[in-house]
Amino acid sequence: MADVVDDIKSRLGIEEVVSQYVQLKKFGRNLKGLCPFHGEKTPSFVVSPEKQICHCFGCNKGGDIFAFIQEVEGVSFVESMHILADRCGIKIDEDKLEKKAAKSEKDIYFKAHDLACDFFEQQLYTTSDGKKVLDYLYRRGLKDETIKEFRLGFAPDKYDELYPVLLNKGISKEVLLKSGFVSSKNIGTDNVYDKYRARLMFPILDAVGRVCGFGGRALKHDQAPKYLNSPENPVYNKSRVLYGLHHSKKYIKEQNQIVLVEGYFDVILPYQAGIKNLVASSGTALSNEQVRIIKRLTTNVVTSFDTDSAGIEATKRAYVLFQNEDIQVKTVTGIDKKDPADFVLEHGDKFKELVDKAGDFLSFMISKVIGDNDITSLTGRRKVVKELLPYYHGMSPTTRDFCVKELSQRLGMNEQHLYEEIESYKLPSGHPMRQAAEMSEVKAVANKLTTEELVVALILENPTLFENAKKTIDLGIVTEWTKNVYNDLLEQYNSARENFKNWNFEIGFLSQDKEKIDVLRLYAEELYNGFSHEALSAEVEKLIDRYKKDRKTKVLSELQISIAEAEKADNRDQLKTLLLEQQRLLKS
Ligand SMILES: [Zn+2]
């Protein structure tokens, strides 16, 4: 297993792996970006190509490529190996790797979903009912290659088609039930029947491209619900999945822009027409997690939801969530049809022009609300102001000035009056903007290093500092960990001198936890970027000195408490010893 790990590490650099998820910018020897693990507005996520690690100085998460993938994809170590091995084209010898460990629960669910996907695809192409559905797809403007690329399928109008196939391939009834492929005939019995019947099947892929859920669209008029979506299961978390992301990820990054739409066809049809940087929050309202996932890829968001009232509500909600992450949202206008899919069907890649012309969300809202009300009347104008006020809440002053100006001009209202209205306005408790105000940013745990750790960090990053530092370090007052690192360093230092070699040390030979050492070194590198050897040497002296002083202050204050206690207890002998100790310390 170690071989495979090393093999993968030799082929995939940390910056290459991380940049699939985080936009990175170069800072000196390292790269920085917004942490994918906590909400932040200034980048504290550092990637070190030299040390082959990443680390967040806010929430302290990170590690090597495997640790990163585990955290970001929410997978086990073994799964992270599979993901990375796939990425660099290494074949993992399954037998060697996982002989003892059974397949993980998630693997079984992924297998079930993949088999189901194969089944639905096959039904689409090989059955007569399937062919009718295929014709329907052609009529909706889909081409064969698109249907294949998105792995669309067909669930026949029968009760016993899918599950016998899956049972035959070793998938248990329990997995079938939990995945939502079957229902049980009577509660508590394991007599099951297929749940997806007479439906067009949209497989939902995770970011890595594995089928993790389905959306089944009704094909008959009287069929309910119109969309039958997978229930939450070990591989499907609807608030973490974005439909289309696996296909569009690379285009989103290339164009540094994402178009957020509502439905499956709204992703597929524009994609086919060449507008490929889009995703849908399939089967659910946009979630915080989805916003986070998007933020890792780009901060330029354009929404293009349905033009009906539900679509407007979705647009408002998206605005609130993105605003909370400091992301500006633009909104597509001018879709004369119900949704982007219909628009593309009629006007093709003209949709791209609408995306390029998309305006600020608030301008969109102003037009919309003004259009819905009669602004020649005072009541109408009041209604407009009332409806828009919540969105002026929590705006940056510059944006607010701009938006106040726009609204006052369009309503023929005095700007000052608007400011006063905004000032005195209180968000009603149920308003989504209120939720946004309360969802404060996840507080970054600024886990600063202790003075002692900082000294060790500096020396580990710049071994030549050890020569001087070893003279002043007081091993009597440091932690066991520091002592161990010191002894390792000393041993290497001495053997180097015996062999008349230049002193340098081999990180790999340190007996202490390599991960902690790497992180400490990264701290030192970041904090003391550009310092000369002399300046660093002086800094170490200063830190050791400070550490000794801090330590002394601490001991003295503890002593003071003991002295007070001894006085109270009238314990003269002890008091005498304590006072002597105090004097000795004060003189030192
Ligand atoms: Zn973080």
Cα(167)–Cα(164) distance, integer angstroms:
5
pLDDT in tens, 171-227: 999 999 999 999 887 665 668 899 999 999 999 998 888 999 999 999 998 888 889
Lowest mean pLDDT among 186-190, 274-278, 289-293, 413-417: 186-190
Q: What residues contact residue 364 under an 8 Å CB cut-off, 6+ apart?
A: 315, 331, 333
pLDDT score, position 378: 85
CA of 445 to the centre of ligand 1 (A): 8
Higher-scoring residue by pLDDT: 344, 378 = 344
- Examine the pLDDT at 441 and tell me if it is beyond 50: no
DSSP run (H or E) holding 416: helix 415-424
- Same domain, yes or no: 427 and 309: yes
Residues paired with residue 184 on neighbouring β-strands, in sequence order: 192
pLDDT score, position 140: 92
- Examine the pLDDT at 7 and tell me if it is beyond 90: no
CA of 55 to the centre of ligand 1 (A): 8
In DSSP notation, 521-573 reads HHHHHHHTTT--HHHHHHHHHHHHHHHHHHHHHHHHHHHHHHHHHHHHTT-HH
- Using the 3D structure, point to which of 200, 229, 258 is the last residue of a domain: 229
pLDDT average, residue stretch 534-559: 86
CA of 289 to the centre of ligand 1 (A): 15
CA of 15 to the centre of ligand 1 (A): 16
pLDDT score, position 425: 77
pLDDT in tens, 107-127: 899 999 999 999 999 999 999
CA of 33 to the centre of ligand 1 (A): 10
Cα(230)–Cα(214) distance, integer angstroms:
5
Is 588 domain-assigned?
no
CA of 40 to the centre of ligand 1 (A): 8
Cα(497)–Cα(109) distance, integer angstroms:
59
- Same domain, yes or no: 326 and 466: no
pLDDT average, residue stretch 315-342: 85
CA of 295 to the centre of ligand 1 (A): 13
CA of 62 to the centre of ligand 1 (A): 8
pLDDT > 90 fraction of the chain, expressed in percent and rounded: 33
CA of 331 to the centre of ligand 1 (A): 30
pLDDT score, position 113: 97
pLDDT score, position 297: 84
CA of 56 to the centre of ligand 1 (A): 5
Cα(495)–Cα(538) distance, integer angstroms:
26
- Same domain, yes or no: 534 and 464: yes
Is 444 domain-assigned?
no
Is 222 domain-assigned?
yes
pLDDT in tens, 420-439: 888 877 776 666 665 554 44
Residue 269 has a CB neighbour count (10 Å cut-off) of 26
pLDDT score, position 203: 97
CA of 446 to the centre of ligand 1 (A): 10
CA of 36 to the centre of ligand 1 (A): 7
CA of 191 to the centre of ligand 1 (A): 48
Is 401 domain-assigned?
yes
CA of 338 to the centre of ligand 1 (A): 40
- Same domain, yes or no: 283 and 415: yes
pLDDT average, residue stretch 74-82: 84
Cα(1)–Cα(80) distance, integer angstroms:
13
Higher-scoring residue by pLDDT: 324, 556 = 556
- Same domain, yes or no: 425 and 538: no
Cα(259)–Cα(280) distance, integer angstroms:
9
- Examine the pLDDT at 276 and tell me if it is beyond 80: yes
pLDDT average, residue stretch 486-503: 71
CA of 540 to the centre of ligand 1 (A): 28
- Using the 3D structure, point to which of 39, 63, 98 is the last residue of a domain: 98
CA of 572 to the centre of ligand 1 (A): 54
pLDDT score, position 411: 87
CA of 342 to the centre of ligand 1 (A): 41
Q: What is the DSSP letter of 476?
A: G
CA of 443 to the centre of ligand 1 (A): 10
CA geometry: angle at 254 spanning 273 and 137, to 5°? Answer: 25
Contact yes or no for 185/153 (Cβ under 8 A): no
CA of 504 to the centre of ligand 1 (A): 33
- Examine the pLDDT at 524 and tell me if it is beyond 90: no
Q: pLDDT confidence of 2, banded at 50, 70, 90?
A: low
pLDDT score, position 442: 27
- Same domain, yes or no: 276 and 216: no
CA of 38 to the centre of ligand 1 (A): 5
- Examine the pLDDT at 443 and tell me if it is beyond 70: no
Lowest mean pLDDT among 285-294, 488-497, 569-578: 488-497
Higher-scoring residue by pLDDT: 543, 2 = 543
CA of 406 to the centre of ligand 1 (A): 38
CA of 81 to the centre of ligand 1 (A): 23
Residue 583 has a CB neighbour count (10 Å cut-off) of 10
Q: Which of 19, 29, 60 is nearest to 519 (CA)?
A: 60
pLDDT average, residue stretch 153-161: 95
Cα(61)–Cα(71) distance, integer angstroms:
8
Residue 571 has a CB neighbour count (10 Å cut-off) of 13
pLDDT score, position 293: 85
- Examine the pLDDT at 252 and tell me if it is beyond 70: yes
Higher-scoring residue by pLDDT: 257, 106 = 257
Is 236 domain-assigned?
no
CATH number at residue 224: 3.90.980.10
CA of 2 to the centre of ligand 1 (A): 28
CATH number at residue 261: 3.40.1360.10
What 3-state DSSP class applies to 235?
coil
Higher-scoring residue by pLDDT: 98, 579 = 579
Q: Hunting for tokens 């190509």 — which residue is that? A: 49
CA of 76 to the centre of ligand 1 (A): 20
Q: Does residue 49 have a cis peptide bond before it, meaning omega lies within 30 degrees of 0?
A: no
- Domain of 322? 245-438
CA of 255 to the centre of ligand 1 (A): 25
pLDDT score, position 446: 30
Cα(488)–Cα(467) distance, integer angstroms:
14
pLDDT score, position 444: 28
Q: How far is CA 217 from CA 199, 225, 246, 529, 581, in A?
A: 5, 8, 21, 56, 82
pTM here?
0.61
- Same domain, yes or no: 500 and 577: yes
CA of 58 to the centre of ligand 1 (A): 5
- Mean per-residue pLDDT of the chain: 85
- Same domain, yes or no: 94 and 109: no
Q: pLDDT confidence of 472, banded at 50, 70, 90?
A: confident
Is 234 domain-assigned?
no
Is 31 domain-assigned?
yes
CA 556 to centroid of chain Cα atoms: 47
Lowest mean pLDDT among 322-336, 354-368, 499-513, 520-534: 499-513
- Same domain, yes or no: 173 and 53: no
State the total domains in the chain.
Answer: 4
CA of 120 to the centre of ligand 1 (A): 41
Higher-scoring residue by pLDDT: 524, 96 = 524
CA of 367 to the centre of ligand 1 (A): 39
Is 239 domain-assigned?
no
CA of 437 to the centre of ligand 1 (A): 21
Q: pLDDT confidence of 296, banded at 50, 70, 90?
A: confident
- Examine the pLDDT at 91 and tell me if it is beyond 60: yes
Q: Which of 53, 59, 176, 201 is nearest to 123 (CA)?
A: 201
CA of 31 to the centre of ligand 1 (A): 15
- Same domain, yes or no: 110 and 90: no
Q: What residues contact residue 101 under an 8 Å CB cut-off, 6+ apart?
A: 78
Q: What is the DSSP letter of 407?
A: H
Q: Which of 287, 295, 332 is nearest to 72 (CA)?
A: 295
Cα(84)–Cα(80) distance, integer angstroms:
6
CA of 297 to the centre of ligand 1 (A): 16
- Same domain, yes or no: 405 and 271: yes
CA of 325 to the centre of ligand 1 (A): 14
CA of 37 to the centre of ligand 1 (A): 5
Q: pLDDT confidence of 502, banded at 50, 70, 90?
A: low
- Same domain, yes or no: 109 and 179: yes
- Using the 3D structure, point to which of 31, 64, 98 is the last residue of a domain: 98
- Examine the pLDDT at 397 and tell me if it is beyond 80: no
CA of 481 to the centre of ligand 1 (A): 25
CA of 46 to the centre of ligand 1 (A): 10
CA of 59 to the centre of ligand 1 (A): 4
CA of 292 to the centre of ligand 1 (A): 12
